[in-house]
Structure 1
Amino acid sequence: MIPARLAAAALAAAALAVLPDTAAQADVEPKRYVALGDSYSSGTGTGDYFDEACMRSNEAYPRLLADGLGAELAFEACSGATTSDLLAEQLGSLDAETDIVTVTIGGNDIGWAEAVTACITPLANCMDEIEASEALVQDRLPGLLDGAYAAIANRAPNAAVYVLGYPRLFNGATTCGPLKQPNVAEQMRMNDAADRLAAVVQNKAEEHGFTYVDVRDAFAGHAICDDVPYLNGLAYPPSESYHPNEMGHLNGYYPALGRAVA
């Protein structure tokens, strides 16, 4: 069996192979890249942060992509960000000279953290919380995404914008961890909700002329409770729970984004 770290290195090399040769671009002005979004963009879950307040990490996919492209990175993504936070706090680096924008946003607007918390609480039934999140996905999120995406397009009219989705958290087959929560039925229900979220985000991204990057296949076989998970289960500090780990960014988000950019 190939050790996990060697497999990670091989996948990282494959991701780099699809990006332009930065050495060949040495005489070209570096691309200007702005990374927006929430904890799935900031790198929360990797355990290595240069900005503790926003839990920004050099192991996160924005830094990996910037290094692969030889681009100048304005790293604005922040853990816990909602669409309103993005509009109020993250757009200052965008302008007509911006070449690339990436963003994950929306998960904190739909009560998803509350649903996850309910599902990992022993003896609790989290179906009501999941249904409440799904209702927000259908009824509230489309308008919020319209506002955020329109603002990005207005501030960076010449940029290629890549909207990254969220992975399914669970394998829907086994439980693990000290609490053995959520159970398999709850896992499957939460994965269904993740698919609903993906459909709305993709639809809105494409309506605005952005490229949607679906990462669900990249995380398939590497969910929480799988042998080589790309996602943290219940972790310490708790803020790192249910977020991509270092391999999730290196082997999940980064290759999927690299292929789209290439």
Structure 2
Amino acid sequence: MIPARLAAAALAATAAFALLPAAAAHAEFDPVRYVALGDSYSSGTGTGDYFDPACRRSARAYPQLLADGLNAEFTFEACSGARTADLLSTQLGALDAETDIVTVTIGGNDIGWADAVKACLTPLADCTDEIEDSERLVQLQLPGLLDGAYGAIANRAPNADVYVLGYPRLFNGASTCGALRQPSVAEQLLMNEAADRLAGVIRNKAEEHDFTYVDVRRAFEGHAICDDVAYLNGLAYPPSESYHPNAMGHQNGYYPAIARAIV
């Protein structure tokens, strides 16, 4: 028997497909040109199934799900580990005046977030300093980096609708799980607060560039690490899978959020 919460999540994902029939029908005559940019949260790292191992691009990632739903002419540029500099140097070649839709997640790797997460996984260690270091980068450096990235996207794809997707909170802030029982609840709350500050900066910069910000935090509520039906991996093997959305996170979290935003 399918658990009720899992069935509800599957129903939400099915409903997202129903949001896109008009665009898909239009694509039979004039295909929508869609380009997906960004980092591991767009490439599909965490799903465990990659057609491009170098960038960990996955057919289970939300960009591929969206492209399929739109029957779009699709270019998948997002790559695991990408920073704003990588986006600028390697990912913009597919953009031009004919591009209709662009999606992007970027910024998490520019603020040392992975280092903060690793520090919080160390037993008996306090990761407050690492979290605060990331927060300083969010406030002092990230706005300028996002200005450069978003400005370049707008210049290369002046007629596109650009959707900037945010990052989910990783933890439920109520319980620990796994063999290490790390991070502590207190550390989880600090990291969730930092994620909220990151979301605020990304939203503000996206809106300054007349892009649409897609907030996925609500879509992941009740599905964080240690929740019964988690849309995010905890500590996993290989380590690159850790602390990323799993296949359900893309299918039932990111994909419905972007589908609703486009419609």
TM-score (normalised: structure 1): 0.97
Q: Structure 1 residue 122 and structure 2 residue 123: aligned?
A: yes
Q: Which runs of 5+ in 2 are unaligned?
A: none
Q: Could you report, residue by residue, the CA deviation over 1:133-167 in whole angstroms, capped at 9, with x for unpaired residues?
A: 00000000000000000000000000000000000
* Structure 1 residue aligned with 2:47: 46
In structure 1, distance between residues paired with 2:197 and 2:10: 32
In structure 2, distance between residues paired with 1:2 and 1:21: 31
Cα distance, 1:2 vs structure 2 = 4.0
Cα distance, 1:26 vs structure 2 = 5.5
In structure 2, distance between residues paired with 1:22 and 1:38: 26
Q: Could you report, residue by residue, the CA deviation over 1:112-143 in whole angstroms, capped at 9, with x for unpaired residues?
A: 00000000111111000000000000000000
SS at match of 2:219: helix
Q: Which runs of 5+ in 1 are unaligned?
A: none
In structure 2, distance between residues paired with 1:124 and 1:86: 34
In structure 2, distance between residues paired with 1:26 and 1:92: 23
* Structure 1 residue aligned with 2:74: 73
Cα distance, 1:20 vs structure 2 = 2.9
In structure 2, distance between residues paired with 1:255 and 1:218: 8
Moved more, 4-13 or 155-164: 4-13
* Structure 2 residue aligned with 1:107: 108
How has the CA–CA distance of structure 1 residues 20 and 241 changed in structure 2, closer, same or farther, with 3 Å as cutoff? same
Percent sequence identity over matched residues? 77
One-letter code aligned to 2:149? A
8 A Cα contact 2:233 2:246, kept in partner: yes
In structure 2, distance between residues paired with 1:185 and 1:23: 46
One-letter code aligned to 1:41? S
In structure 2, distance between residues paired with 1:19 and 1:80: 30
Q: Could you report, residue by residue, the CA deviation over 1:151-202 in whole angstroms, capped at 9, with x for unpaired residues?
A: 0000000000000000000000000001000000000000000000000000
How has the CA–CA distance of structure 1 residues 259 and 26 changed in structure 2, closer, same or farther, with 3 Å as cutoff? closer
Moved more, 33-42 or 7-16: 7-16
Aligned pairs, number = 262
Moved more, 197-206 or 24-33: 24-33
* Structure 1 residue aligned with 2:247: 246
One-letter code aligned to 1:203? N
One-letter code aligned to 1:250? Q
TM-score (normalised: structure 2): 0.97
In structure 1, distance between residues paired with 2:92 and 2:127: 35
* Structure 2 residue aligned with 1:205: 206
In structure 2, distance between residues paired with 1:204 and 1:22: 28
One-letter code aligned to 1:16? F
